[in-house]
Chains A and B, each alone.
Chain A
């Protein structure tokens, strides 16, 4: 055990720092947007951003080094310098394209996505296909040199603004469900697509429903072969996985909660003096610390190129369980403030630690959204049980629903 990054990285950290000294914040009269763009370009040239993206597509093409990546995040974060664009196209689509797409597709889409010039939304979930995603029914039929698409997607973040959608569409209706899906790239600004916002229980609307009525995309805008879409959509980024950030976020949120309990008064005394609240916070801290050290363990394994094992399948559920406990504790702390309407801020504000009862009320509700997104708790338990513990697979999961 050694919790320092090691002497060999001191020099690297010093280089990153001196780069930041010189380049951030931008000098002269550059606007924040322009300044940010120039800064990112300079950071790419130095090999600090988009490290896993080849140079010919706009990245800096560095060898995987989790520790270097973590040092960059720490130093950039400390100076609030722009980092990689954390849009879904960057996180989900680009790795898929790099792994699976044809050369012309990479050239057309990767660089502008990396640079933030085009934005994407993800068309996976449907009203009838949540956990059982492979049962999706949005149809794509090839007519001449175009796919014609009909159906509906749901939970589509940023669909209003997005230029393109990467979308799972049923193109082969006569084969078992997993084998009949293709991965299409569809332009969003067209008459056949209608986007309607979906209002959440906390009052904001960050998701949408997307309706396709004879929407079109060119026949060659398919990644992989017809019927390979399921496989293509499973492509994930293995490069410099960031296993520390989420746990650090949980720890910061927990500290915010402790502060909330200090600041809130009941009967003239800080709520943190209430033995029940103290006990709840202390129980929670056990989970938060465990989560943090799990992140460090995985980070170490990644850096060594070893598999972290079952623990990597537990991150989401462990994290959302903590979110749920935080939510419950905050309600206990705020007392009658629990009668208030939550402040209406959404996902974009999640990185910010809540402050004040209304913000904690938003977390109280929003934590449920996070728990459901990307696979419900029960789906996570299936993954841990089947892939982690080696229990027999659920036979329903492989059954074709005949579509």
Chain B
């Protein structure tokens, strides 16, 4: 029995945390937030050089050949630092092609995605809360027509894996004709989203797309859960730090039991759920019959907890917490992204209830 991560995995997390802390401290995140740019090519280049772009790309295609747990651990660490960039959408694109692509498609795309020369993304959601594969209506029969919402960094992606009716997955090159990218004003300004309108855009179906589509959704749920876990723990740490330094009535406010209890409750809400995303990530590769349900539970539970902790974190900071200049808002908005993307918690609770046969 080893319900723990390995030394290599700990090192991966530590290295990434350190990298974000050094290269993209909150002051830098804030610049990206305020400029509306939301994009830092130098920062992403550094991650690419560390191999982050190809963590789950098989070794024969130039990646590290790691598992979803490794990817999720990376997501947690990047979220803890508040890292900007395409990690989430790009990683899902790599997974989609690895899971559902033909040998030729893998050979064509994966090496470039692994080295970061090419940037990938995924177009999953459709208007009206249609995030789940069985809800997709965009047609992908020969060519793609219809609108996809909340596509991560679509404007910069080279290749987009599009979820289509069937369900299925198809590859579309962003520069193909019939692909129109409309920027969306997203809440998390360091992970920009776009609406993509397809009008008879040329596409290439992933032969195993039908099987890969729900797997891709599950992997996405796990990564969002991991991201939310990283964000929530960062917020708890920020509040504790603030409570140890801010003085009122002549003492640091951490002395006051009301605040101490609030902070303890926040920590209690998030820390025990670490294993939820670990388990869901582990199940994705090793316990297939529990993978779908454990991903749904992890996403629903952790993103909900992270959102509540974000609200609590504003309160724990008092007036300053409500300002644009306070760093709390950076992770607050990250938590909002994680909560809504791929469907809000209640959607996944009902899914997990159905999967359990309730």
The reply to whether A1 and B271 form a contact with Cβ atoms under 8 Å apart is no
Chain A residues, CB < 8 A from B264? 380-382, 384-385, 388-389
**Does A2 lie within 8 Å of B1, measured CB to CB?**
yes
Main secondary structure of the interface of A (DSSP, over half): helix
Name the interface residues of B2-46: CB closer than 8 Å to any CB of A: 2-5
Mask of A298-316 contacts with B, CB within 8 angstroms, 1/0: 0111011000001100100
Task: Indicate if A395 sits at the interface (CB-CB under 8 A).
Answer: yes
In the complex, the answer to whether B260 meets A289 with C-beta atoms within 8 Å is no
Given contacts A287-B301, A314-B272, A381-B261, contact A390 B4 (CB under 8 A): no
Interface string of A205-216 (1 = CB under 8 A from B): 000000000000
Q: Is the CB of B3 within 8 A of A286?
A: no
User: Do B346 and A290 touch (CB < 8 A)?
Assistant: no
Q: Which of B183-237 contact A (CB under 8 A)?
A: 236
* A179 part of interface (Cβ distance < 8 Å): no
Which residues of B are found within 8 Å of A281, using beta-carbon distances? 353, 358
Chain A residues with Cβ below 8 Å from B279 are: 289, 293
B268 within 8 A of partner (CB) = yes
> Is A392 part of the contact surface with B, judged by Cβ < 8 Å?
yes
Interchain CA distance A301-B2 in the complex, whole Å: 9
Give B337-356 interface residues, CB cut-off 8 Å to A.
346, 349-350, 352-353, 356
- Cβ of B65 within 8 Å of any chain A Cβ, yes or no, is no
Are the CB atoms of B244 and A390 closer together than 8 Å? Answer: yes
Residue count of chain B within 8 Å CB distance of chain A: 45
Flag if A314 contacts B261 (CB, 8 Å): no
In the complex, A296 Cα to B304 Cα: how many Å? 23
Q: Is B240 an interface residue, CB under 8 A from the partner? A: yes
Chain A 258-311 interface residues, beta-carbon cutoff 8 Å to B: 258, 261-262, 272, 275, 278-279, 281-283, 285-287, 289-294, 296-297, 299-301, 303-304, 310-311
- Which residue of B3, B251, B265, B272 is within 8 Å of A381 (Cβ)? B265
B254 touches A392 (CB 8 A): yes
Q: For A5, what are the chain B residues with a Cβ–Cβ distance below 8 Å?
A: 1
Residues of A within 8 A of B286 (CB): 1, 3
Interface flag for B255 (CB, 8 Å): yes
A300 vs B275: C-alpha distance when bound (angstroms): 12
Asked if B94 CB lies within 8 Å of chain A CBs, one says: no
User: Which residues of B are in contact with A by a Cβ distance under 8 Å?
Assistant: 1-5, 69, 236, 240, 243-244, 251-252, 254-255, 257, 260-261, 263-265, 267-268, 271-276, 278-279, 282, 286-287, 294, 297, 300-301, 304, 346, 349-350, 352-353, 356, 358
Residues of chain A whose beta carbon lies under 8 Å from any beta carbon of chain B: 1-6, 67, 70, 258, 261-262, 272, 275, 278-279, 281-283, 285-287, 289-294, 296-297, 299-301, 303-304, 310-311, 314, 317-318, 321, 378, 380-382, 384-386, 388-392, 394-395
List 28 interface pairs A-B (beta carbons < 8 Å), by A numbering: A1-B2, A1-B4, A3-B1, A3-B2, A5-B1, A6-B2, A261-B358, A272-B358, A285-B297, A286-B276, A289-B294, A294-B275, A300-B1, A300-B2, A301-B4, A311-B272, A314-B268, A314-B271, A317-B268, A378-B261, A382-B257, A385-B254, A388-B264, A388-B267, A391-B244, A391-B255, A392-B254, A395-B255
Supply 20 further A-B pairs (C-beta < 8 A) apart from A301-B4, A311-B271: A1-B3, A3-B3, A3-B286, A3-B287, A67-B1, A281-B358, A282-B297, A293-B275, A296-B3, A297-B4, A310-B271, A314-B271, A381-B261, A382-B260, A385-B254, A386-B260, A389-B263, A391-B240, A391-B254, A394-B257
